[in-house]
Chain A
Amino acid sequence: MATPIGLAAMGGVLSERSGVLNIGLEGMMLTGALAGAMGSHFLGGPWMGTLAALVAGAALGVVLAYLTVTLGANQIVTGVGINLFALGFTTFVERVVLRPAGIEAVPSFAQLAAPGLRAIPLLGPLLTNLTPLVLVAIVIAPILAVFLYRTPWGLALRATGEAPRAVDTAGVSVFLVRYIAVAASGALAGMGGAFLSLGQLNLFSENMTAGRGFIALAAVILGKWNPVGALAAAFLFGAAEALQLFVQSYGLGVPYQIPTMLPYVLALAVLAGFVSRAIPPAAEGIPYQQEEQ
């Protein structure tokens, strides 16, 4: 539960830090899930599938970047359009290509053997789907954090989301930074999608992301636009899901939706400044245009 959201949320961090609100994460995840399944089947194995998912997600990212960064189209509307298109397109491909070809199960990641973890009471049975991509997600978070906070490119990325004009005058291309950030965000979301089709299930099914891309947007806020924070927030959403299973299986008389709802309430409270203030990048959502000369 947590890993796909975490991967997409880290992508969201990159994109939003550069000043582009990526509502299209959901569609990029879904496309990644399909590309993962197809890549695994046709190209040979789950790792090739993951690669295909990365490429597919990044390609949608480039489309979003072209529309919002180059043309300056509205980021929200464009993201909604990408989600709709991805939903239609992936379902279509599943019906027209996968089903007639009789592709039902694709090669996917093996579960990691971790008998120690599984033995933990209560929590153990919830630690299903412990595939290599979980580890990849956990490794990517600190790498992204180091990139963002300890390298000049990360500095340029953060600055672009806050004050693009300052970045421009410092001789760095705002457009280039945003293109790369949005493409990378699509790639990460695509990988999150591949986790669903190659880790949790070993097939693609219609609308299998079921809103996880939107949850990732909430995780970005809860994680305060920090990759490690976003992954941690994704685990919080995962934990809420686990709590839900717990509540259901032990019949505590509380509807499971209550724990599921909590992370959203928390994200709202954080945004409103009631818990601890989270301030989005200042230039988020605003197309950048060079001054007329």
Chain B
Amino acid sequence: MREGPASPGPSPIEQAIDVLRMEEITKRFGPVLANDRITLAVRAGAVHALLGENGAGKTSLMNILYGLYQPDDGRIWVRGQLVRIRSPRDAIRLGIGMIHQQFTLVPQLTVAENVVLGLRPRRPPFLDLAAAEDAITEISKAYGLDVNPRFRVMGLSLGMQQRVEILKALYRGANLLILDEPTSVLTPAETEALFEVIQSLVADGKSVIFISHKLEEALRISQTITVLRRGRVVATVPTSDATPHELARMMVGRDVVFRIPKTPARAAGPAIEVTDLGAASDQGYPALKGVTFHLFRGEILGIAGVDGNGQTELAEAIAGLRPVSAGQIRLNGHEVTSWPPKARITLGLGFIPADRQRLGLVPDFTVAENLVMKTFAAHPYTRRGFLDRRAITAHARALADRFDIRLHSVQQRVRELSGGNQQKVVLAREVSLTPSVIIAMQPTRGLDVGASEYILRALIAQRDRGAAVLHISTELEEVLSVSDRVAVMFAGELMGIVRPGDVSYEQLGLMMAGALRLNPMAEPA
């Protein structure tokens, strides 16, 4: 960041009103422009919502403000002072507090211990926990947080833990709070309670930046809304002038990335029947709530939605990698709800997971070994009890040719391949098993345009072969260009299933933000 004396600052009046002013903030990550000359002004005693899809640049911008990233260009004023924020410590000193999506609490410690962690003691050398507890109780009362400082964080609900994070920031003297997707882990009742807390904070003159992809919440809680898309500010509007339709259109945009030629689907019988499915997330809160849909052979059903709305849990539940708390899964007519993964694979289920390195591949194994991860024990890869290295290598060579995997040797470790070639290894393995059902989760994440197009064409080819494809992606454009039907997921529920082309971007944006339910296409045409 440059502190150019020539750069025109805000006028004195603006300075008086704005607690924060970020100007022309630019941040690049390699070739990706995460923030492109973003300007943002936050008034004192107000809630400013930052609205946008995944990857719109919301979190990078806020990480810059909190000192976690350094901007490549731009200026920041806090209460009229040009500042340079090099670390979270600087941010805290300036009265900025950030509540991350993933909490940074120590579960085994009490609320009070968490709050004073890392602070200079008031009565050295001892921790004056009693004094801290009193101060916490006081803050807690003032803003209706209702937190008992003596409780261990481990036993608190996620809603309460979030309040502890807010307390932590307030205890450190924050008067500008950044809340990153604060409602994503909350129940509706907890969300209501959080809004009350936010209102009492601003009533006390504090300012809040509310990062969200949920339109309704932004409309309810904020005074000003800034919409970001692809690293740029689309618009900043007073909330009173904004309509959900307008905001949805601004959020989603409509720049088509690629068009992939495909014929209309010829759907046959159901391959997957999911009924009233429920499952918990890794953190133990409900991530799937009554999900019901049918996937037919010969079609691609896309699942659109913002990251973290239950897509991972849905894919893992169908694959047998996550226990189901309610409902039923049928695969090719078999009730497989409690079957182990192996049995589902045998029934013809292929799965391209989102996290290649963790789930889809063994990075330290060779390409050849990765290509037989699911079939190594079967003929011809195992003959008379022994692995047949020659058959495994020949298989790998054939697949590398067919799927155009660029490598020096099939004995290379998968870790050494590029992301696109790693994904081709996964694709090749799954497709080579001629599955009747394929779950493809974020199949193009991190890939360049060429590799992405290759993967998507391959999925369509599988559909044309008669396979049922469940294509889960947070890239709306991708879902729309590939899918025959599109389901939208929000907060663990399906907001409905539609046909691409039958609905507007506005409507899809509203569904992704949980503001609209539409279900004309529960079955294929």
Contacts and interface: CB of A to CB of B under 8 A. Distances in A.
A and B touch in the complex (CB under 8 A): yes
A167 B117 contact: yes
A159 B121 CA distance: 16
Interface stretch (B107-115, B198-206, B274-282, B356-364): B107-115
Contacts of A150: 126-127
Tell me the interface secondary structure of chain A in the complex: helix
Contact of B107 (A153, A162, A169, A172): A162
A28 interface: no
A156 B107 contact: no
A159 B68 contact: no
A152 B127 contact: yes
A152 B121 contact: yes
Closest 4 CB pairs of A and B: A170-B118, A163-B106, A166-B104, A169-B104
B89 interface: yes
A289 interface: no
A207 B121 CA distance: 44
A155 B117 contact: yes
A154 B481 CA distance: 57
Contacts of A172: 117-118
B248 interface: no
Tell me the interface secondary structure of chain B in the complex: loop
Nearest to A291: B68
B107 A155 contact: no
A158 B68 CA distance: 25
Interface in A267-293: 282, 293
18 contacts: A151-B125, A151-B126, A151-B127, A152-B116, A152-B121, A155-B127, A156-B117, A159-B113, A163-B105, A163-B106, A165-B104, A166-B104, A166-B105, A166-B106, A166-B117, A167-B106, A170-B104, A171-B89
B69 interface: yes
Interface residues of A, number: 20
Q: Which of A151, A153, A155, A167 has the most CB of B within 10 A?
A: A155
Contact of B118 (A154, A156, A162): A156
B120 interface: yes
A159 B127 contact: no
A152 B126 CA distance: 7
Contacts of A158: 106, 108-109
B121 A167 contact: no
A162 B125 CA distance: 23
B360 to A, nearest CB: 21
A156 B127 CA distance: 11
B88 interface: yes
A280 to B, nearest CB: 11
Contacts of B104: 163, 165-166, 169-170
Interface string B97-108: 000000011111
Contacts of A153: 125
Contacts of B126: 150-151
A170 B119 CA distance: 8
A155 B110 CA distance: 11
